[in-house]
């Protein structure tokens, strides 16, 4: 089987997970090149072939041998230009870049359509949770009109710890950074940017309407105090950073990200730590819930690898009908003379066709005999050649029908 060759741009947490997943589980995919910022940086990948590394991403997007470019570097620059160049060079794209999709998705998808390429991005919305393909396929018959989701593990972890431990925002943020749940600069997470990029893309797909990132309201969790958490609990609520999207009958979309008081009995109130959850409401399905790890090395890598495998599935070679083997029912009219059935048998024998049943239904008003034969397993092209010869025979007046038997 021909191996699918991929190039990976970025070798951070997600890129590392992708390399480990592909290397350990999928022999049909070959990692040809990996673009990194620093070739000499130590990597947490056992047995990594250092010759695969390059600090020039152009060696991937310009490489004619690479079929799929996997972009997991994040950010807009230089990722956007690299993706566009890769598409122009005839490559499919797998990305986990929610910011690019939110800001430049329309441009990229139009380019991909023009070049007859595919962009897959399951990992961009909720890490290891399969949501994009279910919405685009299984749930396609539903009219989804509402999304309520927890799409950022860092903020959910912070709010969970503030609730359970009574700690302040600053204390928990520091702990989250030490544990690797929050970046040194946590702005993208705690100010709601990450969740905003994700809900824009998800709402665009679910509502089948283009949602602009600059048209949504965004507010993070930096103003939430331990006192707010405590008072909300006394009132029967938990505070969560909710990515919300609704669309009305007029096609107006209300899409936003901000903290909300969620009733303690609500399923989203009980999504804790770094777990993500997405609740969709639509007709006729009603409410449906997706939950699981929204980030991390292997959860996100599983979605990326799934997209790669979807693109790398080999195209099956179609068998021409003439090369197929079937049994056949052949209905004919012959002359009502001795030896007519013998002619049928002789012609079939000449073309390596064995007859298993012969049925003569009597004589028609035009003095022809109605004959039905059933063949053994025969090649289609041989049967067609036999029919051509039968049409030339004076013993066979008409071929009425040919029907294949179920094998």
User: Which residues are annotated as catalytic?
Assistant: 198
Among the listed residues 100, 294, 79, the one whose alpha carbon sits nearest the alpha carbon of residue 197:
100
How far is the C-alpha of 118 from the C-alpha of 112, rounded, in Å?
6
Alpha helix (H) residue ranges in 266-379: 297-312, 340-350
Pairing status of strand 143-150 against strand 378-379? unpaired
Q: Average pLDDT, whole number, for the chain?
A: 90
Numbered ranges of CATH 3.30.360.10 in the chain: 132-293
pLDDT band at 251, cuts 50/70/90?
Answer: confident
- With beta carbons less than 8 A apart as the criterion, state whether 340 and 403 touch: no
Among the listed residues 68, 39, 65, 67, the one whose alpha carbon sits nearest the alpha carbon of residue 52:
39
The CATH H-level superfamily of 322-405 is: ACT domain (3.30.70.260)
CATH architecture of residue range(s) 132-293: 2-Layer Sandwich (3.30)
Numbered ranges of CATH 3.30.70.260 in the chain: 322-405
pLDDT band at 314, cuts 50/70/90?
Answer: low
pLDDT band at 306, cuts 50/70/90?
Answer: confident
pLDDT of residue 228: 92
Numbered ranges of CATH 3.40.50.720 in the chain: 4-126
Q: What's the gap between Cα 198 and its chain centre?
A: 16
Give the tokens for residue 66.
């690479």
The CATH H-level superfamily of 4-126 is: NAD(P)-binding Rossmann-like Domain (3.40.50.720)
Of 16-30, 71-85, 346-360, 383-397, which gets the smallest average pLDDT?
16-30
pLDDT in tens, 154-174: 999 999 999 999 999 999 999
């Amino acid at each position: 089987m021909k191996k699918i060759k991929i190039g990976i741009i970025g070798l951070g947490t997600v890129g590392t997970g992708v390399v480990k997943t592909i290397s350990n589980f999928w022999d049909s995919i070959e990692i040809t090149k990996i673009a990194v910022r620093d070739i000499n940086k130590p990597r947490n990948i056992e047995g990594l072939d250092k010759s695969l590394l390059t600090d020039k991403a152009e060696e991937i997007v310009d490489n004619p041998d690479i079929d799929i470019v996997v972009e997991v570097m994040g950010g807009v620059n230089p990722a956007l230009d690299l993706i566009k160049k890769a598409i122009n060079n005839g490559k499919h794209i797998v990305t986990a870049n929610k910011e690019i999709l939110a800001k430049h998705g329309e441009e990229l998808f139009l380019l991909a359509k023009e070049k007859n390429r595919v962009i897959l991005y399951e990992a961009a919305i909720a890490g290891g949770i399969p949501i994009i393909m279910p919405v685009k396929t299984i749930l396609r018959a539903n009219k989804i009109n509402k999304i309520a989701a927890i799409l950022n593990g860092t903020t959910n972890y912070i709010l969970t710890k503030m609730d359970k431990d009574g700690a302040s925002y600053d204390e928990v943020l520091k702990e989250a950074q030490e544990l690797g749940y929050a970046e040194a600069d946590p702005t993208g997470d705690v100010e709601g940017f990450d969740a905003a990029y994700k809900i824009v893309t998800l709402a665009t797909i679910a509502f089948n309407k283009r949602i602009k990132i600059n048209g949504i309201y965004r507010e993070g969790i930096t103003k939430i105090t331990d006192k707010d958490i405590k008072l909300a609990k006394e009132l029967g609520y938990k505070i969560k950073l909710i990515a919300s999207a609704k669309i009305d009958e007029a096609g107006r979309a209300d899409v936003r990200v901000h903290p909300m008081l969620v009733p303690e009995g609500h399923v989203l109130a009980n999504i804790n730590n770094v777990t993500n959850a997405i609740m969709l409401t639509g007709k006729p399905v009603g409410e449906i819930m997706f939950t699981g790890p929204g980030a991390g090395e292997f959860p996100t890598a599983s979605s990326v690898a799934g997209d790669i495998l979807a693109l790398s599935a080999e195209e099956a070679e179609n068998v021409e009908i003439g090369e197929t083997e079937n049994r056949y029912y052949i209905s004919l009219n012959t002359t009502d003379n001795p030896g007519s059935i013998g002619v049928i048998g002789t012609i079939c024998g000449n073309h390596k066709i064995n007859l298993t049943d012969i049925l003569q239904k009597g004589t028609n008003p035009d003095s022809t005999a109605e004959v039905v034969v059933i063949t053994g397993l025969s090649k289609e092209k041989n049967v067609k050649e036999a029919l051509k010869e039968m049409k030339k025979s004076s013993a066979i007046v008409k071929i009425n029908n040919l029907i294949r038997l179920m094998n």
